[in-house]
Structure 1
Amino acid sequence: MLRHAAIGGGFDLTPGTVSRTLAPALLIAVASPAYIRGRLTPVDPTGLADLDGIVMRSLRTGRITQRQIRNADGLELPIALKQTLVVNDPAAMRAASLLGLGVTMMLSRMPCPTWSEENWWVDAGPISIYYANRTLLPSKTRVFVDFIAELFQRERYSERFARSLG
């Protein structure tokens, strides 16, 4: 049983776990300036196919997540990243990108001093706070969950995560 709270997205919930949506999880293509230097910068997602890709394999299914990328005009395209480096952790994706190993898809608000094509993004679902069933929730956890939800609302993190995308 979950006795604490966790913040994240894309989790399969175990019975008795509750999620409360905090913000959208929007992914953008990023690569280090060192990786992009000397290469043609893609003008749209089709250009990503020519670059080394850092992709994520699902721990649950063992498959590479296939996503659609879109722009503000509503155009949607499949992401065609090469599977040059396959990892199972977003922190490893970020580190590999910072090391100049290729292009990856990261949260639009993840601190990552890299090149990005922000006119295109992937809607990866919500960022949520997860916690135990309300009837089993310790009061200090309830206070924490409420604090986080109020903080996201007060600081307008939902809008900041979404930025001007869409």
Structure 2
Amino acid sequence: METLSSLECFVRSAESGSFAEAARRLGLTPAAVGKNVAKLEASLGVRLFQRSTRRLTLTDAGERFLGEVRGGLTSIQSALANLASNAGQPAGILKVSMGATFGHEYVLPMLAEFLQRYPAISPDWHFDNRPIDLIGQGFDAAISGAMELSPGVVARKLAPAHRILVASPAYLAEHPAPTTPAHLAQHAGILIRSPQTGKVRPWALHNREHAEAAIELRTRMTMSDPDAACLVAEMGLGIALVSLPHSLRYLKRGSLIRVLPDWYVDAGHVSVYFSGHRLLPTKTRVFIDSLVEHFDRQQLSERFSALNNP
């Protein structure tokens, strides 16, 4: 097990370029990570890193060694996790990333039943809209509508990721409601900055007839959080483009109304992301299966479709 720990310290240090960052991901001290890597180098008889005050750089031998051991390390860790079950039941810490509001509204409700079914699993759930390195940061899974597929990661679709235009009844009482996408240029826009890029993405609208139109709202303000955009729109300060999962509760209580209900943005899918390695830990597999079952039972795919929410 000592060699396995040293290998994990080496791989995480190589991925992050820093003993300190590897230590943060592994829950160790930087000194412990550096010591484990030094032990590995001593046992192999080669230097794996060139060390500087700013960054670690792999040597040629380190590059070759990383390519040879990274996949094998994942296999061994998965096998150990599957063996370390409690009386044949899935067990261990389940580290999952998801957006805060989305997680609160749509994922947390499954937790009690999930833990009743799998009591030996300990959730370590992170509620954050920022992008993550799923494998590098040691996550078992991530739920997102905008995550790029990095090497070794696969996705299982859960629901459509549709965005719609919304405004408050007060705003629409004071401003003529747009009847075509071209009318949007006359309205104050509440825009959302992407947590992945830090920019406002130029989305295009589509309708049932597959026509396409640009969104040309006048930028009144920009938010980094979809809930903030909904709250500002609720104040009557403009028209916001937000995802259906975030806007559903406002639409249900009538504090926001859909603008141009025949038009929407197709942003792909809400998916659960996980390692594509063949030997997936049992705790991760049962979580994914339970999540899919929960989405089906709650009809979230239908609820998140702009075509079903006029």
The AA in structure 2 aligned to 1:159 is: E
Distance (Å, rounded) in 1 between the aligned partners of 2:223 and 2:277: 35
Distance (Å, rounded) in 1 between the aligned partners of 2:170 and 2:142: 34
Note if 1:115 corresponds to 2:115: no
2:191 to 42, 45, 55: 55
Which runs of 5 or more structure 1 residues have no equivalent in the other structure?
none
Please list the CA deviations of residues 53-86 of structure 1 after superposition, one character each: whole Å capped at 9, or x if unmatched: 0112234434320111011122210111122111
Change (3 A) 1:71 1:158: same
Decide whether the 8 Å contact of 2:164 with 2:306 is kept in 1. Answer: no
Decide whether the 8 Å contact of 1:28 with 1:107 is kept in 2. Answer: yes
Alignment of 1:17-56 (within 5 A): 17-56=153-192
- How many residue pairs match? The answer is 165
Divergent runs of 4+, >6 A: none
Distance (Å, rounded) in 2 between the aligned partners of 1:45 and 1:158: 26
Distance (Å, rounded) in 2 between the aligned partners of 1:82 and 1:139: 50
1:88 to 224, 230, 243: 224
Decide whether the 8 Å contact of 1:3 with 1:137 is kept in 2. Answer: no
**Deviation of residue 24 (structure 1)?**
0.8
Alignment of 1:153-164 (within 5 A): 153-162=296-305, 164=307
Distance (Å, rounded) in 1 between the aligned partners of 2:146 and 2:238: 24
Distance (Å, rounded) in 2 between the aligned partners of 1:30 and 1:53: 10
1:73 aligns with 209
Which runs of 5 or more structure 2 residues have no equivalent in the other structure?
1-134
2:143 aligns with 7
User: Considering only aligned residues, what root-mean-square deviation do their CA atoms show, in Å?
Assistant: 2.2
Distance (Å, rounded) in 2 between the aligned partners of 1:94 and 1:137: 38
Please list the CA deviations of residues 106-153 of structure 1 after superposition, one character each: whole Å capped at 9, or x if unmatched: 223432231113211110110111223444643222211111112223
User: Equivalent residue of 2:185, what SS?
Assistant: helix
Change (3 A) 1:5 1:65: same
The AA in structure 1 aligned to 2:199 is: R
Note if 1:144 corresponds to 2:281: no
Moved more, 100-109 or 127-136: 127-136
**Deviation of residue 6 (structure 1)?**
2.6
User: Equivalent residue of 1:40, what SS?
Assistant: coil
The AA in structure 2 aligned to 1:57 is: R
| Structure with higher RCO (Cα < 8 A, 6+ apart) | 1
Structure 1 length-normalised TM: 0.85
Distance (Å, rounded) in 2 between the aligned partners of 1:162 and 1:19: 19
Change (3 A) 1:112 1:136: farther
Change (3 A) 1:6 1:94: farther
Change (3 A) 1:51 1:163: closer
The AA in structure 2 aligned to 1:122 is: V
Moved more, 131-140 or 41-50: 131-140
Greater helix fraction, Structure 1 or Structure 2:
2
Greater strand fraction, Structure 1 or Structure 2:
1
Change (3 A) 1:16 1:64: same
